[in-house]
Amino acid sequence: MALCLKQVFAKDKTFRPRKRFEPGTQRFELYKKAQASLKSGLDLRSVVRLPPGENIEDWIAVHVVDFFNRINLIYGTMAERCSESSCPVMAGGPRYEYRWQDERQYRRPAKLSAPRYMALLMDWIEGLINDEDVFPTRVGVPFPKNFQQVCTKILTRLFRVFVHVYIHHFDSILSMGAEAHVNTCYKHFYYFIREFSLVDQRELEPLREMTERICH
Ligand SMILES: [Zn+2]
């Protein structure tokens, strides 16, 4: 029987959703709207479109946070199988290797294990989406000028989680009965980034064949 993802998540506090929208805020209303159209059975390609009258930055902010929470949980369910020994290098098959760079410890691109890369990646995103200067939550506070650029970087890095998980841990996805769940999340993510041209085409290359198969 398929293991319920919610049960898996509940057991692992490390991979809890790391940011929530506060009820009563404008952003929360938009989040609910996005969730409602998602559940209504509309096709994923159309649910990602900006609803009339909504602000594009709010729409992107809501999705970036939601995708971060969901992808973080997906990786969390297979994190036990993604170890220093199974994945000593953060890669997507033999052809793609990702190096980590940040403004703290790794100023130069560093070759790290997948679990280490993922931990840094999740912490880095969590820091940004909880930073009021980057993701303002108060009404009337504008988004920074480089907001879209920051989101592009976040989404580009989140895409790499899909690359690694699909290429290196597909057996785990299958054994957990999570294939449909992961595919739905991937498709939603893919349509979203394509709708707003947020991730460079080259980054999508490692999963191109699979994408052509499942996103049509
Ligand atoms: Zn791994």
- Report pLDDT digits (tens) over 106-134: 999 999 999 999 999 999 999 999 999 99
Q: Which residues carry a binding-site annotation?
A: 82, 87, 164, 169
Q: Residue 32 maps to which CATH number?
A: 1.20.140.30
Residue 77: name the closest of 179, 209, 214 by CA.
179
Q: Are 193 and 155 spatial neighbours (Cβ–Cβ below 8 Å)?
A: yes
> pTM value?
0.87
pLDDT, mean of residues 207-213: 95
**What's the whole-number average pLDDT of the chain?**
88
- pLDDT per residue over 192-203, tens digit each? 999 999 999 999
- The rounded Å distance from CA 92 to ligand 1 centre is 9
Task: Name the pLDDT band for 6 (thresholds 50, 70, 90).
Answer: very low
- The rounded Å distance from CA 116 to ligand 1 centre is 10
Residues 6 or more apart whose CB falls under 8 angstroms from that of 7 comprise none
- The rounded Å distance from CA 86 to ligand 1 centre is 6
Residue 214 and residue 103: Cα distance in Å, rounded? 36
pLDDT at 19: 67
pLDDT at 30: 79
Domain span at residue 18 reads: 5-214
What proportion of the chain, given as a percentage, has pLDDT over 90? 75
What is the tally of structural domains in the chain? 1
- What does 49-97 look like in DSSP terms, one character per residue? SPPTT--HHHHHHHHHHHHHHHHHHHHHHHGGGS-TTT-SS-EETTTEE
Return the structure tokens found at 85: 């020994």
Residue 72 and residue 126: Cα distance in Å, rounded? 10
